[in-house]
Chains A and B, each alone.
Chain A
Amino acid sequence: MDTIHVQKDEDFIEQLISAIDKNGYLSTWELFKMAYEAEKVTMTPNFSGLKALDFLPHIHFLDHQIRAAEQVIEQMNGRAILADEVGLGKTIEAGLILKEYMIRGLVQKVLILVPASLVNQWVRELNEKFYIPAVSQQKNYNWDYPVIVTSIDTAKRMPHREKILEKEYDFLLIDEAHKIKNHKTKNFEFVRSIRKKYCLLLTATPVQNQLVEIFNLISILKPGLLGNYQTFLEKFGMDRKKMKEDDYLKQLIQKVMIRNTRDETDLKPSKRHIHAIWVDFSEKEREIYQDIESLAKIFPTFVKLTLLREICSSREACYLSLKKLADEQGNSSPVLPIMEKLEQLPHHSKAEKAVELIKSIGEEKVIIFTEYRASQLYLQWFLKQHGITSVPFRGGFKRGKKDWMRQLFEHHAQVLIATEAGGEGINLQFCNHLINYDLPWNPMRLEQRIGRIHRYGQENDVHIYNFAIRHTIEEHILQLLYEKINLFEKVIGNLDAILAELNIQNVEKEIETIYAESESFGEAKIKLDNLSSVIQHTWEQYGKEEKYGHS
């Protein structure tokens, strides 16, 4: 007992005496009793168990989420990496943990660092779901609110930096924590300097490339758990695979990391239905497509590829690029006749197909993704002609505008036409139809697109419609790349890690190179097929390695 500090209540008796002697406020028996009752119902009678569950009767928690929260609080003492696969509700787990600490009176000051695009969403979820009065900190200088959500980029800048570093936080949370895994960056230094009691790091990919990344993340939580930097490198090196092979290391990591995978949870994800929507060019459109193909000799491959992709999307997208070329080349430009032909086109076959599809879906919400802003504008106009309401969405919108568009979409418009998934942008689980009007050549972007609607919280089956025009470059990409690696069927996972392992920095460039270096489309097709095989193979291997982390 000697080593336990005891804090007494020094004021009570003095205050009581003065209240009686000096006619201070004295309670009635009924109110006094109610206050006693209030204390009784809000106290925590046990060391273990989650009291927060009583406070959140409206949230349906999944078993793995409750287990994760209990583990973090009871075994990991409030410092942990939450590394569930995407879509299993890391945010929910984090909210539950924070709520529990706040109820137990162990946490008052909270700092939550998330990507800028997610700030509002975090604020909304904490307030609406968890009744945690979080505010977002953007430009003003007040860092005194109890629960603040902001981006690392804002937080690390002057004068915020100083204000944050001089405080002591009871709870620090970092979302998308893999972004700070590099110990040489300023972000990492900054985060490590923040004084905190409890700390959660959220990431779906705790180790992307090198084993040392996990060392760095753990240095924020529990420095020394894996030894110091030097001994760690000597013992384990940089090899990511060590994590699965070395039992000792695995055990240590399990002390601070929880990783639930979809297979192990009782979460029955809503199904994904993939529909390939084949469109045929009209004769006039095909003629233009072929004209562009035969431009090959004059322009570099990538210019030709861009034009081909654009004509598959809309007249407008293609026209803008052609116009740029024509302006550079003057009157004799070989693209002028193509432009004339484009002007003659009455509409685009794909857009008609889109209208037909949306009408067949009925009243339900639909998201259309396109690669081109010109197509986005055209589609908005075209849908309006057919009595379909839509709102635009771009990655470049300011935060407030994004939120506003999301709300308009949720409550007023049937269709959202987006040019970019916007990284970790907004969640649109209330919608379950997605049209890939044209396909990006970067599978990561495709994953992000689908991830907007197919994630934790989606209650309906998700329908994904992939548009492709027959006998064009789109056919190759859809059939040889995406359908082959089963990207659409697979639940969002570790594609970025796999690409990193294969040393593919940029899939788009890779595909361009294939076309540029191939003599014929036939040859390109074979090479594309090979690329897909390699990705698919690595993906399967990776899946087998996944079983690490506490779960």
Chain B
Amino acid sequence: MAIPDLHAFLRTFFTLHNCPIVRDESGLLSIQLTEEMDKALMNRPFYWHYMEKIGQTGTPMQLTLITNPEKRDEKGEWIHFGSPRLHQILNHLKEREKFIHLFEKVDVNTQTPLYPWLLANVKVSYIGRQKKDMLYSVGLQLINGSMRFSMMDYLDNIPLQKTIPDYCYTISPIIRLKSGFGRIEKVIYEQIAKEQHGWAVESLRTLKEEEEMIRHFYKDEEEQERMNKELEALRERYQPVIEIKIVNGGLIYLTK
């Protein structure tokens, strides 16, 4: 799966990071970086280190990205799904944008309550002989405990902001964040249990087969150590693991 509109994605990314867009035409995007973005993307720590040492303000660079391969010959950097630059940007997002604390934007003139929701975007990785990832977006209402899947899609239609709107007040959670998170985890476990786990069975079978092969191969006593190393490498490769990672999440107050 690729990013449907890479050009727009990049434009939004840099605009949100307060970088002026210098040139924006079809397939070509020039950006004046801020100091922060320069440090994050341009791989020149020594330059910034040096500037700080001599007490000067450095000059952030301009970056020209080519989003249409047909314009590859123009001056600039061809950016596409495989290019390191894009992954730098994606990783920057993944590492930084982990937590939110937001409120539904409502225009009211009477006292309106806002209900707390815990949002967790969860990546479940099934790792055996091969690997597969699944993504769940779960929301839990922290008053009545109702739960919602595809929470991100649901939130897409609700305007959100960082401050609490006028005339609104928040209701304190009855379910504490920690135990709410426990409930979400439980539901994720249930999802995992519902999955077919042929992949793990297969992986364990391969593990057993190859373990036997290795035991047969190393008959000599003096090679025990090497055999154990090999067995360890096997388990490393085949022992089925399910990894649960929270991509990002947060606390959101909604009108219902």
Contacts and interface: CB of A to CB of B under 8 A. Distances in A.
Interface of A: 1, 3-9, 12-13, 15-17, 19-20, 24-48, 54-58, 73-74, 77-78, 104-106, 131, 133, 168, 192-193, 195-198, 219, 222-225, 227-228
Given A45-B1, A195-B229, A27 B97 contact: yes
Interface string B15-49: 01000000000000000000000000000000000
28 contacts: A1-B192, A3-B200, A4-B200, A4-B241, A5-B240, A6-B241, A6-B244, A7-B242, A12-B120, A13-B178, A16-B249, A19-B99, A27-B98, A31-B93, A32-B97, A34-B12, A34-B16, A34-B93, A37-B9, A39-B247, A54-B2, A55-B81, A57-B80, A57-B82, A58-B82, A77-B206, A106-B127, A106-B131
Interface stretch (B52-60, B106-114, B141-149, B211-219): B211-219
A28 B152 contact: no
B80 A105 contact: no
B185 A1 contact: no
B197 A222 contact: no
Contacts, number: 207
B233 A131 contact: no
A225 B200 CA distance: 22
Contacts of A43: 123, 133, 135
Contacts of B168: none
Contact of B233 (A4, A25, A45, A196): A196
Contacts of A222: 210, 213
A36 B200 contact: no
Interface string B199-224: 11000101000101111111100000
B9 A34 contact: yes
Q: Top 4 closest A-B pairs, CB basis? A: A224-B213, A224-B217, A55-B82, A35-B97
A515 to B, nearest CB: 51
Interface of B: 1-3, 9, 12-13, 16, 69, 80-84, 87, 90-91, 93-94, 96-102, 120-121, 123, 125-127, 129-135, 137, 152, 156, 160-162, 177-178, 181, 185, 192-193, 197, 199-200, 204, 206, 210, 212-219, 226, 229-230, 233, 236-251
B233 A39 contact: no
Contacts of A74: 130
Nearest to A56: B82
Nearest to B177: A17
Given A13-B181, A16-B177, A7 B82 contact: no
Given A26-B99, A32-B97, A45 B133 contact: yes
A426 B176 CA distance: 65
A227 B3 contact: no
